[in-house]
Amino acid sequence: MRLIRQFIRIIQINIVLVRHGLEEVIFAIHLFRPIRFLLLIWPWHWFRNVDISHGVRIRRTLEDLGPIFVKFGQALSTRRDLLSDDIADELTKLQDRVPPFPGAEARTIVEKAFGKSVSEIFASFDETPLASASIAQVHAATLHDGSDVVVKVLRPGVHKQVKRDLEVLHLIANLAHRYWVDGRRLRPREVVADYEQTVMDELDLMREAANASQLRRNFENCSDLYVPEVYWDYCRINVMVMERIHGIAVNDVKTLNENNINLKKLSERGVNIFFTQVFKHNFFHADMHPGNIFVSYETPEDPKYLGVDFGIMGTLSIEDQRYLAENLLAFFNQDYRRVAELHLESGWVPADTRIDHFESAIRTVCEPIFQKPISEISFGNLLLRLFQTARRFQMEVQPQLVLLQKTLLNIEGLGRQLDPELDLWQTAKPFLDRWMSEQVGMRALVKGMRRHLPKVLEQAPELPSLVHQYFLQAEQAPKRQEALLKLEIERLENKYKQQRLWSIATAITAIIAAATIAYYF
């Protein structure tokens, strides 16, 4: 039954592609290339509306395919260095202009969640949504105490739709793992499983409220980012109420300029916020597309970001943090040998990979890029080149870093949109140097001592007893080892005796069998 459901969904996806004039995507698949000539004889290919741009057709296709595909379009929308302008402009509309569902349905969902009428919960509730996204939409409201808030409501039926598309993604990932030449190296099944966890977490608005509270606490005394307050008494698994903020969309450069916002400082602060979240707090907003970020207009020369939508957050292990920091430092210092060593040490390339060959391949990719001014280096183009190199050395995709890579690309796209001369490295390097110094050397030693000092002081009264036990165990150790050695010798002797008995018994059995055979034959 599940396989039938998946097959039907794949057929639906192909129908949507054809309906929006993107049937060339189907015929780009290796399996269908031999019958590509069918495009020439399909009537709808003759009479389709050529006045509709490629970008519009792609956006409409993603909207019709649902939340999973809309999110894919959102991720692409910030990559203007990889897309043509018409496609990027259309995908930008997916950020907060996904077709809304009726406000009356939103009212019904809220009333069902709280078990009371909207008028009992709010002093006012606007059924016209402020914004509509792939998973939920947002309505303006006022609490009875006069506080202006926004009410986030999950789309009706979104759980069923997401689970259906995830099943299809798992099917495609399994097929890619088995039949695609790069399937095992790119680990599609692990990537989809990790993405499934992320998306399912996003469907729980109580989790999102907790994420928002944590991020607000992390930046409580920081002038770079403001996170709205969560009203916990008004939060449910499919409804969340937060403080309403007022700002300028981060991608509305025209309005930002009209309000004299310092764009250079704003772009640098965006990079600083990213690295602070990743390396200081180890808790980062992993969905930083333009629809989720606004800018306060109150202090134009000292601009502050305003964040919303905290459904997707990421964390890294200490090992991944260190690997990322060292790789970035080695890469921008053009220490290709160290980049190659880090990939080998982490196990991301096979153990038998020759360091000198891998180093040479990385240098071939990176040197032409470094001939440009550092401010013109694009992470997007670099990743595309490194991907080609990775195929040669069987480098595996690391699912735990997928969110981080996506977020870094979003930040770069936004930063360059605000300030085309943004020097990403000049902004990030001091932060990475400071973080590395905190992990190794004297600063790391002092930090470790401060972290463990309370535990040491707590155990201080027991220190004499612990020392006494240590010396007592040290004194008894030779006797214990002697006794263990004696027991081991006895065990081996018994085992040897048993083996001798089995050998003798086997020999006697063989002699008897041979004598019997000789007697009768």
pLDDT at position 499 is 53
- Note the pLDDT of residue 516: 43
Instruction: Write out the DSSP string of 33-80.
Output: GGGGGGGGG-HHHHHS-TTS-HHHHHHHHHHHH-HHHHHHHHHHHT-T
Tell me what pLDDT residue 111 has. 95
Residue 207 has pLDDT above 90, yes or no: yes
> Of the segments 273-282, 300-309, 331-340, which one has the largest average pLDDT value?
300-309
Q: Name the band, by pLDDT with cuts 50, 70 and 90, for residue 80.
A: low
Residue 34 predicted with pLDDT over 60:
no
Q: Is 287 a residue of the active site?
A: yes
pLDDT band at 248 (very low <50, low <70, confident <90, very high): very high
Cα–Cα distances in angstroms (integers) from residue 302 to residues 82, 85, 263, 415, 480, in the given order: 31, 30, 10, 16, 70
Examine the pLDDT at 389 and tell me if it is beyond 50.
yes
pTM of this prediction exceeds 0.85: no
Per the model's pLDDT, the better-predicted residue between 237 and 322 turns out to be 237
What one-letter code names the amino acid at 139? H
What integer pLDDT is reported at residue 507 of this predicted model? 47
Cα–Cα distance, 209 to 142 (Å, whole number): 19
| Sequence-ordered list of residues with C-beta below 8 angstroms from that of 107, at least 6 positions apart, any chain | 118, 125, 127
The 3-state DSSP class for residue 416 equals helix
- 159-201 confidence digits (pLDDT tens): 888 888 888 778 777 877 776 666 666 677 877 787 788 788 8
pLDDT score of 473: 62
Among 294-298, 302-306, 362-366, 461-465, where is mean pLDDT lowest?
A: 461-465
Mean pLDDT of 24-51: 55
Structure tokens at 248: 């300028």
Quote the tokens at residue 99: 């077709």
What are the Cα distances from residue 427, in Å, to 274, 374, 424, 431? 11, 11, 5, 8
The pLDDT assigned to 113 comes to 95
Does residue 266 surpass a pLDDT of 80?
Answer: yes
**Is a pLDDT exceeding 60 seen at residue 517?**
no
Least confident of 237-241, 306-310, 466-470: 466-470
d(CA 201, CA 133): 16
| Spatial distance between the Cα atoms of 152 and 69, rounded to a whole number of angstroms | 21
- Residues 287, 309, 419, 423: which is the catalytic one? 287
Cα separation values, 318 from 3, 323, 397, Å: 40, 9, 19
